[in-house]
């Protein structure tokens, strides 16, 4: 069954490329609400064309989810999570080829969203088509959840997952994207960090004042930086918010072993960043543990008063900071938000307003899930190299809705991108070779996972 499907994919490379070009030429910019609903309709139609039953499910306050399923009467079900929205293409003058042109140059396809994440949507659908056309069925039951606001933080997506728990039951989830590194190795991960993004607003007088008044009026900028200073110890890089580390789970022996086998490329990373060393002079396994298993407390933005050219002797009426905490299992974003609020009140800063701007919990899948060896073995066969494997990534996303809320093993790293694909950046592109390899990989995963 698998050989026939692989052959079909090989013979239809040109058509498969055209199918992807069709989708990437349609803008679907969630941040600007441009073309999003039209794209949902296109994705639904593309699913139906390969034999997947599809519904457009409205999500309260957000963009619809395209839900697909193909029940082949198999014992196992594989769910694909993707998103059909893309980042805005700006700045337009930095693109060498039009962002929604879908042009091919030197063996690469250029388009906003081609690596993140439309290339993967189409690759997965084409793998299904290859089975349906050659065997009339698929080796594993399939579900698709393709959301339309991942690029703006999946703000309402949790409502869909919470409401549709029963429909989403499956044996494994394949996450949206993946890319090959400099040496051609795909990078596979099994979880990600969460995020609690807050804004602090500190207010003083009802207007900016002549700075001579600083002698008798409190300065909100000073007040804000003092409040911020209570939140972090720089010597140890520890967050000082009470109870912040209570729920942090350390890595297991197996996870440590995995990180030891796939260390951070320290020299390369430092060279890229123009730095001489990492925080706290960390190296080796301690660096990996800090990166993947420790939560953070980061000032992302800080503004107040006059910041233009020259001098302006003014005392600002207000000061603001944006802070993000990257969270690890088993912390939760809402709990951390409450802890930060309590911390500020306890230190005498109850007057500083605090808002929660966005939040996602962390999630981790078991490394013992049956899908894990399937992904790794099929990656070796497809790419002819040993994949890079890490227990989780340091980024965030709605993965916790699947591996934490629904308890389904969720694997990231199956995809059509490579290290220069430039997701979110001008000239986003994928190599055609990676697109076709990505389809092959999905065909093999479906066949192997269905064998049980
Ligand atoms: Zn993205």
**137 and 181, same structural domain?**
yes
**204 and 179, same structural domain?**
no
For ligand 1, the distance from its centroid to the CA atom of residue 86, given in whole angstroms, is 7
In a domain, 324, yes or no: yes
In a domain, 261, yes or no: no
- Asked if residue 153 lies in contact with residue 91, where contact means CB atoms within 8 angstroms, the answer is no
**302 and 236, same structural domain?**
yes
Q: What secondary structure letter does DSSP report for 31?
A: G
Per-residue pLDDT reduced to its tens digit, 177-196: 999 998 899 999 999 999 99
* CATH number for position 321: 3.30.70.360
**385 and 350, same structural domain?**
no
For ligand 1, the distance from its centroid to the CA atom of residue 149, given in whole angstroms, is 10
**What is the spatial distance between Cα 168 and Cα 406, in angstroms, rounded to a whole number?**
8
Which helix H or strand E contains 108, and what residues bound it?
A: strand 108-110
| Per-residue tokens: 9 | 């994919």
- Asked if residue 441 lies in contact with residue 414, where contact means CB atoms within 8 angstroms, the answer is yes
Q: 309 — alpha (psi -120 to 50), left (phi > 0) or beta?
A: beta
* Among candidate residues 321, 342, 360, the one where a domain is terminated: 360
Please, is 373 exposed, middle or buried when counting C-beta atoms within 10 Å of its C-beta (0-12, 13-18, 19+)? exposed
* Among candidate residues 344, 360, 376, the one where a domain is terminated: 360
- Asked if residue 128 lies in contact with residue 70, where contact means CB atoms within 8 angstroms, the answer is yes
In a domain, 219, yes or no: yes
| Per-residue tokens: 431 | 């190599």
The domain total for the chain is: 2
* Among candidate residues 307, 333, 360, the one where a domain is terminated: 360
For ligand 1, the distance from its centroid to the CA atom of residue 292, given in whole angstroms, is 20
Picking from 132, 91, 97, 126, the residue whose alpha carbon sits closest to that of residue 18 is: 126
For ligand 1, the distance from its centroid to the CA atom of residue 336, given in whole angstroms, is 25
**What is the spatial distance between Cα 317 and Cα 203, in angstroms, rounded to a whole number?**
6
**18 and 157, same structural domain?**
yes
Place of tokens 């001008």: 426
Residue 34 forms beta bridges with which residues? 29
For ligand 1, the distance from its centroid to the CA atom of residue 151, given in whole angstroms, is 5
**412 and 306, same structural domain?**
no
In a domain, 423, yes or no: yes
In a domain, 286, yes or no: no
For ligand 1, the distance from its centroid to the CA atom of residue 70, given in whole angstroms, is 27
In a domain, 378, yes or no: yes
**What is the spatial distance between Cα 178 and Cα 11, in angstroms, rounded to a whole number?**
24
For ligand 1, the distance from its centroid to the CA atom of residue 397, given in whole angstroms, is 10
**39 and 20, same structural domain?**
yes
Kindly give the parts of the chain with pLDDT less than 50: none
**315 and 377, same structural domain?**
no
Long-range contacts of 303-308 (CB under 8 A, 24+ apart): 304/220, 304/221, 304/224, 305/208, 305/221
Share of the chain above pLDDT 70, in %: 100
**What's residue 182's pLDDT?**
87
Tell me which residue range forms the domain holding 316. Answer: 194-248+294-360
Pair type for strands 187-189 and 238-239: unpaired
**What is the spatial distance between Cα 48 and Cα 128, in angstroms, rounded to a whole number?**
11
Give the distance between the most distant pair of CA atoms in the chain: 82
For ligand 1, the distance from its centroid to the CA atom of residue 115, given in whole angstroms, is 9
Protein residues with C-beta less than 5 angstroms from the ion ligand 1 = 116
**198 and 185, same structural domain?**
no
In a domain, 54, yes or no: yes
- Asked if residue 7 lies in contact with residue 52, where contact means CB atoms within 8 angstroms, the answer is no
For ligand 1, the distance from its centroid to the CA atom of residue 424, given in whole angstroms, is 6
For ligand 1, the distance from its centroid to the CA atom of residue 113, given in whole angstroms, is 8
pTM for the complete prediction?
Answer: 0.90
**178 and 199, same structural domain?**
no
**What is the spatial distance between Cα 344 and Cα 339, in angstroms, rounded to a whole number?**
9
**What is the spatial distance between Cα 99 and Cα 101, in angstroms, rounded to a whole number?**
6
* CATH number for position 414: 3.40.630.10
For ligand 1, the distance from its centroid to the CA atom of residue 258, given in whole angstroms, is 26
In a domain, 411, yes or no: yes
**What's residue 452's pLDDT?**
75
For ligand 1, the distance from its centroid to the CA atom of residue 185, given in whole angstroms, is 21
**377 and 241, same structural domain?**
no
**What is the spatial distance between Cα 127 and Cα 140, in angstroms, rounded to a whole number?**
12
For ligand 1, the distance from its centroid to the CA atom of residue 378, given in whole angstroms, is 25
**322 and 442, same structural domain?**
no
**What is the spatial distance between Cα 449 and Cα 206, in angstroms, rounded to a whole number?**
64
Residue 25: count of CB within 10 angstroms of its CB:
14
């Amino acid at each position: 069954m698998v050989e026939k499907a692989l052959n079909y994919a090989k013979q239809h490379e040109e058509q498969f490329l055209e199918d992807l070009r069709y989708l990437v030429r349609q803008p679907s910019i969630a941040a600007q609400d441009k073309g999003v609903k039209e794209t949902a309709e296109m994705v639904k139609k593309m699913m139906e064309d390969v034999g997947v039953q599809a519904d457009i499910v409205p999500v309260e306050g957000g963009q619809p989810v395209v839900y697909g399923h193909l029940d082949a009467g198999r014992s196992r079900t594989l769910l694909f999570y993707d998103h059909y929205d893309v980042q805005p293409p700006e700045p337009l003058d930095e693109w060498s080829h039009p962002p929604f042109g879908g042009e091919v140059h030197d063996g690469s396809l250029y388009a906003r969203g081609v690596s993140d994440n439309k290339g993967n949507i189409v690759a997965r659908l084409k793998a299904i088509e290859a089975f349906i056309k050659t065997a009339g069925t698929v080796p594993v039951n399939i579900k698709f959840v393709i959301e339309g606001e991942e690029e703006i933080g999946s703000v309402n997506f949790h409502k869909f997952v919470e409401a549709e728990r029963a429909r989403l039951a499956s044996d494994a989830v394949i996450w949206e994207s993946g890319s090959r590194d400099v040496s051609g190795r795909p990078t596979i991960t099994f979880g990600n960090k969460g995020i609690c993004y807050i804004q602090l607003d500190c207010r003083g007088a009802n207007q900016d004042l002549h700075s001579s008044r600083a002698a008798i009026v409190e300065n909100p900028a000073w007040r804000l930086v003092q409040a911020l200073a209570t939140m972090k110890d720089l010597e140890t890089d520890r967050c000082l918010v009470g109870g912040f580390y209570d729920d942090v789970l350390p890595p297991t022996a197996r996870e440590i072993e995995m990180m030891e086998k796939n260390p951070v490329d320290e020299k390369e990373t430092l060279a890229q960043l123009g730095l001489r060393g990492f925080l706290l002079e960390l190296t080796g396994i301690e660096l990996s543990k800090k990166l993947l298993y420790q939560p953070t407390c980061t000032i992302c933005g800080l503004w107040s008063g006059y910041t233009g050219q020259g001098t302006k002797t003014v005392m600002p009426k207000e000061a603001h900071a944006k802070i993000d905490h990257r969270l690890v299992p088993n912390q939760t974003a809402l709990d951390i938000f409450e802890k930060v609020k309590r911390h500020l009140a306890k230190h005498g800063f109850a007057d500083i307003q605090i808002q929660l701007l966005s939040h996602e919990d962390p999630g981790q899948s078991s490394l013992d899930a049956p899908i894990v060896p399937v992904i790794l073995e099929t990656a070796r066969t497809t790419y002819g190299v040993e994949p890079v494997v890490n227990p989780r990534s340091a980024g965030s996303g709605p993965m916790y809705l699947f591996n934490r809320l629904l308890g389904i093993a969720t694997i990231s790293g199956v995809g059509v991108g490579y290290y220069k694909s430039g997701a979110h950046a001008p000239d986003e592109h994928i190599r055609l070779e990676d697109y076709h390899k990505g389809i092959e990989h999905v065909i093999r995963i479906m066949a192997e996972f269905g064998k049980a």
